[in-house]
Every structure is written in structure tokens, then in C-alpha cells.
């Protein structure tokens, strides 16, 4: 596809259930990011994948959150035992390899709106 795609677009779940969110990055982009955005707020960094390097997990808020990137392409963000405070829009972005000092442009998907009841 031409851009970053995410699925599902909306997810409603009950407190305590596990959820999986999927991200398909732009073909050829080696870097992949996950962010969380509360209503009308800025983005909170969660995790970053770059090629075959160990991911930067420094933004994950708790051990209930984990992410995988298989084959250097598709990524899945998993939230276990969801809580109401996990409700937010989860955004995925991809980019070419980062350069210092400025970042390559990150291309964002439309996000997955997660609602935990």
C-alpha cells in the first residue's frame, strides 16, 4: 500500500481482556514506532524498532504492554489485562533509517481507537 495501515480502526473491549493491534508500515521503511495519544493531546512514545536491532522499549508504560515486529515488516502491539486508563488512540509510524541530528520523516497510520469498558 501507499501508506501506513493499522487495524482494527476501532476496538472496544472489556476490562481485563487482552487486545492486539496491528501495523503495516510502508514497504522499505526499516524504522517503526508505536505511540499513544489521549483525546486531543500529544503523542506518547511507546516503542521503536530499527531493522534487526533490539527494540527501544523505554516508553512502554507497564509490563502489560509488549510489541513484536516480524520479518522486519508488520508489527503487533499487545496489551494484556486491559485497564480503563489504556483507552486511547494507538498510532503507528514508519520511516527510513534515522539520521543524526535530524530524524527522517515519520509517516503515521490513521491509528486504532481503543476503548476499554
Residues lying near other proteins in the complex (CB under 8 A): 4, 33, 35, 40-45, 48, 56, 58-59, 91, 93, 100-103, 105-111
To other proteins, the closest distance from the beta carbon of 82 in angstroms equals 22
Q: Which is nearer to other proteins, 12 or 18 (CB)?
A: 12
Q: Which is nearer to other proteins, 20 or 44 (CB)?
A: 44
To other proteins, the closest distance from the beta carbon of 15 in angstroms equals 25
Q: Which is nearer to other proteins, 80 or 113 (CB)?
A: 113
Pairing of strands 43-50, 75-79: unpaired
Pairing of strands 19-24, 5-7: antiparallel
Q: Which is nearer to other proteins, 16 or 115 (CB)?
A: 115
3-state secondary structure of 65: strand
**Distance set, CA 83 to CA 11, 15, 44, 68, 117 (Å):** 14, 5, 17, 21, 8
To other proteins, the closest distance from the beta carbon of 80 in angstroms equals 23
Which among 52, 51, 34 has a CA at the least distance from the CA of 43?
Answer: 34
Amino acid at each position: 500500500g501507499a501508506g501506513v495501515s493499522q487495524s482494527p480502526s476501532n476496538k472496544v473491549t472489556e476490562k481485563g481482556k487482552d487486545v492486539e493491534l496491528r501495523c503495516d508500515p510502508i514497504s522499505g521503511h526499516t524504522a517503526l514506532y508505536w505511540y499513544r495519544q489521549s483525546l486531543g493531546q500529544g503523542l506518547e512514545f511507546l516503542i521503536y524498532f530499527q531493522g534487526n536491532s533490539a527494540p527501544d522499549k523505554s516508553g512502554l508504560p507497564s509490563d502489560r504492554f509488549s510489541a513484536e515486529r516480524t520479518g522486519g515488516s508488520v508489527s503487533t502491539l499487545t496489551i494484556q489485562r486491559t485497564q480503563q486508563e489504556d483507552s486511547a488512540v494507538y498510532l503507528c509510524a514508519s520511516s527510513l533509517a534515522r539520521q543524526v541530528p535530524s530524524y527522517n520523516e515519520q509517516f503515521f497510520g490513521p491509528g486504532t481507537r481503543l476503548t476499554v469498558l
